[in-house]
Every structure is written in structure tokens, then in C-alpha cells.
């Protein structure tokens, strides 16, 4: 069963409550919140206040995708704000194991994201402890970028590892996922699709955006 995680980065923030309620009604499975600090990535987006606001609007699980320096300093703040899944990047988290343990100790889910240039093998020693692996299919920082197809073998490799080692862990893909790219992403083994543009900027509305992503579900 494929899960859809709309990224509110492309939502209309003048009507955030409507946008969140609309994706919930349209069958979204979780809400993806892109946190950017202008240092780890060039863009600045939103912080824990937005997580708290969205938490008051929906029953859906919230995932905080932390594209920030020193993410370990902020994981508690985001969990306090209502994040159910904390996703940190492997590239800038020195003590990944500690972060994962801290998140899980609070009964929340721990995810690790990999940039397009980061190989799957960096997760070898930690993947058994994870609830989610996020494969970035664009260089993080902005919505509306083009999908990088060379990440597909990495998705397949991670799916193979999860199957071989019998690990129950979500495999999520983020960046440039739309009705054209989703079929390859899903057939490569992803089970959670993040999409900002394809949902919130769909010409026929967000509900249709979610429906077309599910396409071959
Ligand atoms: C990129 C973010 C993504 C982004 C996806 O830095 O992590 O979640 O919002 O946007 P689309 O779906 O438009 O590529
Ligand atoms: Zn994201």
C-alpha cells in the first residue's frame, strides 16, 4: 500500500488550515514539513511553530524533515511541537545512532535522509534501527525541482537490503515526485511518496493531485 505525504512547502500559507484539511479529506496519509535553515540548504522555511499549528488542525501523523545544521539540538523541540516522525540527514548528523535512540525513546519514529550524492551503504550500521529511510530525489532546498532518475538504483538497493534483512522500515522518496515519475519510484520499492508541487499546484486541485500520484497503487 503506497502512502502519500504532501509537503506543505508548496501550500498556500494564507489558507494553511484549508490546505491541510483538504489533503486530509483527499486521503493523504501523513503531512511532510520541510524545515530549512539557510545553512544546510540555501533556503529558509519554517520551524516548530508551524508544526504546532498543523498539529492542531489534523489527526494525520506529521513528519519533520530537518534540513538544518546541528539537527540533534532541535529534535526535542520538534517532537514537543507535535512531530511524530523526525527525519535527519545522514550528511550532517555526527551522532546518528544517538539521535535515533533519543527519538525512539520518546515513542516517536526516526528517519534518516540521504542526499542524491550519498550512497545507500552509509546506512549499513544503522538501518536496523530506523523506522524510515528518505531518499532525496532532488538536492534539498526547494520544491518544484526536476526528479533525478539516477537515484532509482539506490531506492532498489535499499529495498533489497530491507527485504534481505527483514527490516520493517518505510522507504520514502522526496523531490520531483509526480504522476510521471511516481510509477518508477514505486516499482523501485518506495512505499511513501512525498510531493509538494504535484499535490498543491495540481491544475485540477489537490485532491486530484493525490489521486494521480496513487495512479498504479
Ligand atoms: C526539498 C524538500 C521537498 C520538497 C518537494 O528540499 O525536501 O520535500 O518540498 O517538493 P516537490 O514535490 O515540488 O519536488
Ligand atoms: Zn522534504
Closest residue CA from atom 9 of ligand 1: 143
Please tell me the distance between residue 174's alpha carbon and the centre of ligand 2 in angstroms. Answer: 6
pLDDT tens sequence across 5-48:
999 999 999 999 999 999 999 999 999 999 999 999 999 999 99
Residues 6+ apart with CB under 8 A from 85: 30, 61, 62, 63, 64, 108, 109, 110, 111, 131, 132
| Ligand with the closest atom to the CA of 132 | 2
Pick the atom of ligand 1 nearest to 176's CA. 14
Summarised one tens digit per residue, pLDDT across range 173-209 is 999 999 999 999 999 999 999 999 999 999 999 999 9
Return the bridge partners of 4, or none. Answer: 193
Instruction: List pLDDT tens digits, range 49-64.
Output: 999 999 999 999 999 9
Which residues, judged by CB distance below 6 Å to any ligand atom, belong to the binding site of ligand 1?
7, 9-10, 32, 34, 65, 138, 140-145, 174-177, 194-198
Tell how far the Cα of 161 is from the centroid of ligand 1, in angstroms: 25
**Ligand 1 atom, smallest distance to 65 CA:** 7
Q: Is the pTM of the predicted complex or chain greater than 0.95?
A: yes
- Complete DSSP assignment for the chain: --EEEEBGGGS-GGGHHHHHHHHHHTT---EEEEEEBSSSSS-B---HHHHHHHHTT-SS-EEEEEESSSGGGTHHHHHHHT-SEEEEEGGG-TTHHHHHHHHHHTT-EEEEEE-TTS-GGGGTTTGGG-SEEEEESS-TT-SSPPP-GGGHHHHHHHHHHHHHTT---EEEEESS--TTTHHHHHHTT--EEEESHHHHT-TT-HHHHHHHHHTT-
| pLDDT for res 133 | 99
Residue 217 above 60 pLDDT?
no
Residues 122 and 51: their CA atoms lie apart, in Å, by 29
- ∠ CA(63), CA(87), CA(15), 5° rounding? 30
Q: Is 31 left (phi over 0), alpha (psi -120 to 50) or beta?
A: beta
pLDDT, one tens digit per residue, over 159-178 is: 999 999 999 999 999 999 99
At residue 215 the predicted structure's pLDDT band, cuts being 50, 70 and 90, is: confident
Amino acid at each position: 500500500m503506497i502512502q502519500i505525504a504532501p509537503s506543505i512547502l508548496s501550500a498556500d500559507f494564507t489558507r494553511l488550515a484549508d490546505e491541510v484539511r483538504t489533503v486530509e479529506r483527499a486521503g493523504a496519509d501523513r503531512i511532510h514539513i520541510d524545515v530549512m535553515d539557510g545553512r544546510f540548504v540555501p533556503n529558509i522555511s519554517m520551524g516548530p511553530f508551524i508544526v504546532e499549528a498543523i498539529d492542531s488542525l489534523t489527526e494525520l501523523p506529521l513528519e519533520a524533515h530537518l534540513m538544518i545544521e546541528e539537527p540533534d539540538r532541535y529534535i526535542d523541540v520538534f517532537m514537543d511541537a507535535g512531530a511524530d516522525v523526525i527525519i535527519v540527514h545522514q550528511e550532517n548528523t555526527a551522532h546518528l545512532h544517538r539521535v535515533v535512540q533519543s527519538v525512539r525513546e520518546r515513542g516517536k519514529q526516526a528517519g534518516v535522509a540521504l542526499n542524491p550524492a550519498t550512497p545507500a551503504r552509509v546506512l549499513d550500521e544503522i538501518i536496523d534501527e530506523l523506522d524510515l529511510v528518505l531518499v532525496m530525489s532532488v538536492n534539498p532546498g526547494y520544491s518544484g525541482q526536476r526528479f533525478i532518475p539516477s537515484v532509482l538504483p539506490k531506492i532498489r538497493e535499499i529495498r533489497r537490503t530491507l527485504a534481505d534483512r527483514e527490516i520493517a522500515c518505510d522507504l520514502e522518496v522526496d523531490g520531483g515526485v509526480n504522476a510521471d515519475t511516481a510509477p518508477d519510484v514505486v516499482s523501485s520499492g518506495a512505499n511513501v511518496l512525498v510531493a509538494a508541487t504535484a499535490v498543491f499546484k495540481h491544475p485540477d486541485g489537490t485532491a486530484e493531485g493525490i489521486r494521480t500520484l496513487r495512479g498504479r497503487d
